[in-house]
Amino acid sequence: MGHMSPIRRSCPIASGSMHRFYISPEDWNPEALVLTDSEAHHARDVLRMKHGEKIVVFNGCGREITAEIIDPGGSEIRLRKLHEAETPPLRCRIVLGQAVPKGKNMDLIVHKAVEIGAADIAPIISDRTVVQVDPESAGQKQAKWQQIAIEAAKQCGQNWLPRVHAPRKLAEFFDAAVPNAGFDLRLIGSLQPDAQHLKKILADYSSEHQHRPQSVLMLVGPEGDFTPAELALARGHGCRPITLGPIILRVETAAIYCLSVLSYELLT
């Protein structure tokens, strides 16, 4: 999945002071735009928007429409298209495989990952993950984190919405066809002494292939790092251990650091 241009990704208010709303791709119809459910509630009951006011809607797949409210009443809010635009994909698809941290840190990581330019977010249930996730709560957490991603995209002008996958163990993640297909480069944050600096790995890749990677998997461990068995599993699937420097970072800091470096090196 691609993303926005570097300027837009820096998250200004992308379309002046107009509010942004999300319409899913399956409900996207430029000739009959409608806000429903929570988006309609937010526009009508929270923002008190009126007939004739202008808003921006996006579908998470690069399309954006400036629209006018023509019927704010009822359960749906009908809109009239004024201008449609397409946001080009970014140069590199970055997938964050994040071991679920304790507390609300995953909420923060998801939000920041959208702002920085991740294409997919794959929550990982590590052997050292403090939060226990059963099948029922996994679906609830996935839905919650996807909604956080939507809100982040609305706030920062991001027209490509990352998909948040269901939490799964590392072995299940590698067995899954999606989002684990076709990475040019696979990386895992590591405290091991043989871990290399990301700058060197990227330079070596560009030197060998004469171009920058177009898809990257970035695995970030939980508090206490991945277990030796998980690190061995990741290495067996082609993940190269990278060091994040001499200072041990908090989980959320490590995720933001890795995504920021990859964004700077590969998306601009």
As a whole number of angstroms, the distance between CA 68 and CA 33 comes to 10
- How many helices (H) and strands (E) in the chain? 8, 13
Confidence of residue 7 (pLDDT cuts 50, 70, 90): very low
Residue 168 is part of which domain span?
A: 93-266
Total of domains in the chain: 2
Residue 129, domain member (yes or no): yes
The predicted pLDDT at position 9 comes to 38
Same domain for 126 and 257, yes or no, is yes
Give yes or no: residues 97 and 220 share one domain.
yes
Which of 86, 107, 135 is at the close of a domain?
86
Q: What pLDDT shows up at residue 3?
A: 41
Q: Which of 28, 56, 86 is the last residue of a domain?
A: 86
Is pLDDT of 44 > 50? yes
The CATH code of the domain that includes 144 is 3.40.1280.10
Last residue of one domain, picked from the residues 86, 104, 135? 86
Give the mean pLDDT of 88-102: 92
- Which pLDDT does position 54 carry in this prediction? 96
Looking at residue 246, its pLDDT comes to 82
Residues 148 and 98 placed together within one structural domain of the fold: yes
Confidence of residue 77 (pLDDT cuts 50, 70, 90): very high
Whether residues 153 and 204 fall in one domain:
yes
CB 148 within 8 A of CB 104: no
Three-class secondary structure of residue 42 per DSSP? helix
Asked if residue 144 and residue 102 are part of one domain, the reply reads yes
Separation of alpha carbons 264 and 231, rounded Å: 26
User: Rounded to an integer, what distance in angstroms lies between the CA atom of residue 128 and that of residue 3?
Assistant: 32
The enclosing domain of 46 has a CATH number of: 2.40.240.20
pLDDT exceeds cutoff 60 at 37 = yes
Instruction: Kindly state whether residues 166 and 262 are assigned to the same domain.
Output: yes
Same domain, 252 and 186: yes
Tokens 């794959």, located at residue: 122
Q: Give residue-wise pLDDT tens across range 26-35.
A: 999 999 999 9
Comparison of pLDDT for 65 and 130, the residue scoring more: 65
Question: Cα separation of 177 and 122, whole Å?
Answer: 13
pTM above 0.85, yes or no: yes
- 150 with 233, same domain: the answer is yes
The verdict on residue 246 lying in a domain is yes
pLDDT digits (tens, 9 = 90+) for 133-153: 777 788 899 999 999 999 999
Residue the block writes with tokens 């990278």:
242
| Structure tokens that stand for 195 in this block | 């871990």
15 pLDDT above the threshold of 90: no
Residue 32 lies in a domain: yes
Question: Residue 190: pLDDT above 80?
Answer: yes
pLDDT at 14 > cutoff 80:
no
Inside any domain, residue 50: yes
Per-position DSSP letters for 227-255, written without gaps between them? -HHHHHHHHHTTEEEEE--SSPPPHHHHH
- pLDDT digit string (tens) for 149-170? 999 999 999 999 999 999 999 9
pLDDT, position 131: 73
Q: Binning pLDDT at 50, 70 and 90, where does residue 17 land?
A: confident
**Residue 180, pLDDT score:** 52
Q: Which residue has the tokens 């490509």?
A: 160
DSSP, collapsed to helix, strand or coil, labels residue 54 as strand
Q: Who wins on pLDDT, 6 or 135?
A: 135
Give yes or no: residues 48 and 102 share one domain: no
Q: Is the pLDDT of residue 130 over 90?
A: no
177 pLDDT band, cuts 50/70/90, is low
The predicted pLDDT at position 136 comes to: 75
Residue 1 falls inside a structural domain: no
Q: Are residues 46 and 103 in the same domain?
A: no
Do 67 and 145 reside in the same domain of the chain?
Answer: no
Nearest to 258 by CA among 173, 199, 194, 203: 199
Indicate if 59 and 131 belong to the same structural domain: no
Segment 191-202 mean pLDDT:
90
Cα 114 vs. chain centroid, distance in angstroms?
A: 4
In a domain, 245, yes or no: yes
Cα distances (angstroms) measured from residue 14 to each of 4, 103, 145, 243: 11, 31, 23, 35
111 pLDDT above the threshold of 70 = yes
Amino acid at 45: D
